[in-house]
Amino acid sequence: MAQKQKIELNFNDVDDFHFKKPLKGYMMKIADDHYVIGNEDLAIKSTGKTPKEAAEMLKEQFIVLANDIIYKSKYAPLSERERKKLNIINSICDII
């Protein structure tokens, strides 16, 4: 069984996202060419052949999730879980 390893991912700024602190999560090596990186608080997970590839996929998922929650927050009330995710997103990055 693969063991979880704590990691902190530092992302470069992208488009409207200014990252001010690292995204914390877990990395698991499933096989020699298969890595899984995830963040349980945001409920996002990605896989890749290398840790860098998995991290890039996680960054993309983070951006999609952030866009979805920010858009929804403008037009509808958020659930408790969505508010928690929004607080985490706001603590990690500024969205212009």
CA neighbours closer than 13 Å in the CB half-sphere of residue 19:
15
Residue position matching structure tokens 């969205």:
95
Q: pTM, whole model, 2 decimals?
A: 0.89
Is the pLDDT score of 96 beyond 80? no
Residue 46, strand partner residues: 37
Question: Which pairs count as long-range contacts for 85-89, CB under 8 Å and 24+ apart, including other chains?
Answer: 85/41, 85/42, 85/43, 88/41, 88/42, 89/42, 89/62, 89/65
Predicted pLDDT at 33: 86
Residue 86 near residue 69, CB atoms below 8 Å:
yes
Q: What is the pLDDT of residues 45-74, one digit of tens each?
A: 999 999 999 999 999 999 999 999 999 999
